[in-house]
């Protein structure tokens, strides 16, 4: 269940709490990584975390674990579900090379899970597309809503779409997502360039894309941005994401309407550590709040190869 809350001002620093899930996880099919953490908050105060391990062929699947909040505010993993929540799609489908987690959103009939579908390429290493799966109320398994992407390539997004963050906001479905700007050759090899764009929908399935870029490259060295996480506060929207030149670092932006953003990465509140599992990069941020505390889940070194950690800070009263 997504809840609106008033986050601490963006320049407040986070306190590291360490690894929550080490990789590889305990599922027999999970050979590496635990990437793109996303927490689902349920009506009965239960917490579930979705993430993406990779199998022995390097294909990502979507997994789920059950969490509890300890009396001291620490997060603890109760158990990992042994079977994937969503597997790669059939041969030739847009997601036959892997599925990576992005977000979950409730509607009147159940829960929508938005994900990134991976297809291997020839002239470029991969293609990415936004997919969706649905779980009716009372069920545990998700099923794809379509064999095709819900956000295909277009004139505005000619190269790829990926990593959506979706909110239901006063009757409108709002999506912030990764959009491919181009492929370029660097040292003789193709390298992607992607940034963040915005779209709206009346039903969460058919999307109208805004022609403007939500978050653009900060400079000529920056070439990629990770999945955004958007939180609606009392008077503004706040976005955490990660952007990379030499490595991923946490980024931050604010908006009064969710469309036009002011970026100020100095207010993100968390830099790579001096050593350890998150010393090389910080990426794939995801936020939620409980009992007056904000929780920031994220990946560190190796895009999730080192596991999932988290940090906390006091939420605004």
Residues of the chain with pLDDT under 50: 1-11, 317
Query: Facing residues of 295 across strands?
Result: 288, 312
For residues 270 and 273, give the distance between their C-alpha atoms in angstroms, rounded to a whole number. Answer: 9
Residues making up the chain, counted from first to last:
317
Neighbours of 213 (CB within 10 A): 15
pLDDT score for 241: 98
Distance CA 119, CA 5 (A): 37
Alpha-carbon distance of 61 to 55, in angstroms, equals: 8
Encoding tokens for residue 127?
């293609």
Retrieve residue 305's tokens.
């190869």
* Dihedral sign of CA atoms 247, 252, 255, 258 in order: positive
pLDDT of residue 294: 95
pLDDT value at residue 10 = 45
CA distances from 41 to 210, 222, 225 (A): 29, 34, 26
| 267 three-state secondary structure | helix
182 found inside a domain: yes
Whether residue 317 lies inside any domain: the answer is: no
- What local confidence, expressed as pLDDT, does residue 43 receive? 75
**What is the number of alpha carbons within 13 Å of residue 316 lying toward its C-beta?**
11
CATH number at residue 100: 2.115.10.20
Q: How far is CA 188 from CA 182, 191, 244, 246, in A?
A: 16, 9, 20, 18
pLDDT of residue 316: 61
Burial class (CB in 10 A: 0-12, 13-18, 19+), 30: buried
- The domain containing residue 29 runs over which residues? 15-309
Predicted confidence at residue 5, as pLDDT, reads 36
Q: Which of 291, 283, 275, 288 is nearest to 307 (CA)?
A: 283
pLDDT of residue 22: 97
Prior bond to 160 cis, omega within 30? Answer: no
230 vs 207: CA distance, rounded Å: 18
**Strand, helix or coil at 220?**
coil
Q: Is residue 7 in a domain?
A: no
How many domains does one find in the chain? 1
Query: Contact at 8 Å (CB) between 20 and 309?
Result: yes
Cis previous bond, 24, omega within 30: yes
Helices (H), the chain: none
**2 lies in a domain?**
no
What pLDDT score was predicted for residue 167?
A: 97
Task: Provide the pLDDT for residue 3.
Answer: 38
Task: Using a cut of 0.85, tell me whether the model's pTM lies above it.
Answer: yes
CB neighbour list of residue 38: distance below 8 Å, 6 or more residues apart: 49, 50, 51, 101, 102, 103, 104, 286, 297
Residue 4 located in a structural domain: no
Does 289 reside within a domain?
Answer: yes
């Amino acid at each position: 269940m997504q809840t609106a809350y008033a986050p601490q001002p963006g320049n407040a620093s986070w306190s590291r709490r360490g690894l929550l899930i080490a990789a590889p996880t305990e599922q027999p099919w999970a050979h590496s990584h635990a990437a793109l953490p996303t927490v689902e908050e349920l009506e009965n105060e239960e917490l579930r975390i979705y993430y993406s391990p990779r199998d022995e062929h390097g294909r990502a699947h979507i997994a789920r674990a059950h969490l509890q909040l300890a009396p001291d505010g620490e997060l603890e993993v109760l158990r990992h579900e042994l079977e994937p929540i969503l597997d790669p799609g059939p041969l030739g489908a847009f997601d036959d090379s892997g599925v990576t987690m992005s977000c979950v959103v409730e509607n009147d009939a159940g829960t929508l899970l938005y994900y990134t579908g991976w297809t291997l390429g020839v002239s470029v290493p991969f293609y990415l597309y936004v997919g969706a799966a649905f779980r009716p109320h009372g069920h545990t398994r998700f099923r794809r809503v379509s064999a095709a992407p819900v956000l295909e390539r277009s004139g505005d997004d000619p190269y790829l779409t990926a990593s959506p963050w979706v909110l239901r906001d006063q009757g409108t479905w709002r999506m912030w997502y990764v959009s491919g700007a181009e492929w370029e050759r660097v040292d003789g090899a193709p390298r992607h360039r992607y940034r963040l764009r915005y779209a709206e929908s009346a039903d969460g399935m058919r999307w109208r894309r805004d022609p403007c870029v939500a978050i653009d490259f900060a400079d000529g060295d920056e070439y990629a941005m990770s999945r955004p996480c958007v939180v609606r506060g009392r008077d503004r929207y706040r976005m955490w994401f990660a952007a990379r030149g030499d490595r991923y670092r946490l980024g931050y932006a604010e908006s009064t309407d969710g469309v036009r953003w002011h970026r100020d990465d100095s207010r993100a509140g968390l830099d790579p550590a001096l050593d350890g599992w998150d010393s090389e990069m910080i990426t794939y941020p995801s936020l939620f709040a409980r009992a007056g505390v904000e929780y920031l889940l994220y990946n560190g070194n190796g895009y999730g190869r080192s596991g999932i950690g988290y940090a906390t800070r006091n939420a605004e009263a």
